[in-house]
Amino acid sequence: MGLVQQIVLKMFPASKSQAIKAESQAWMVRCDVCDEEKSVWDRGGVRWKGAGTPRLRAKCTKCGKTQWHTIYYSK
């Protein structure tokens, strides 16, 4: 678990932190090259009350290259 995740889970009451975790698990990060997908939560991040489909450059956990990744809501 990432540092930000630990802080969020300790900072909020249990019901709110579980809602934040569930929403972060619904946001997916997809590598634009190899299409590997993981949730924001599984990548160590938190995304709560977000909107849109931002892109970021990050190292892919599958192909190992620093590529563009798209973040989108899967529900």
1-31 pLDDT, tens digit each: 899 999 999 999 999 999 999 999 999 999 9
Q: Is the pLDDT of residue 34 over 90?
A: yes
What kind and span of H or E run contains 38? strand 37-39
Contact 69, 60 (CB under 8 A): yes
pLDDT per position as a tens digit, 37-50: 999 999 999 999 99
Answering whether pTM is above 0.85, one says yes
Q: How many whole angstroms separate alpha carbon 31 and alpha carbon 65?
A: 10
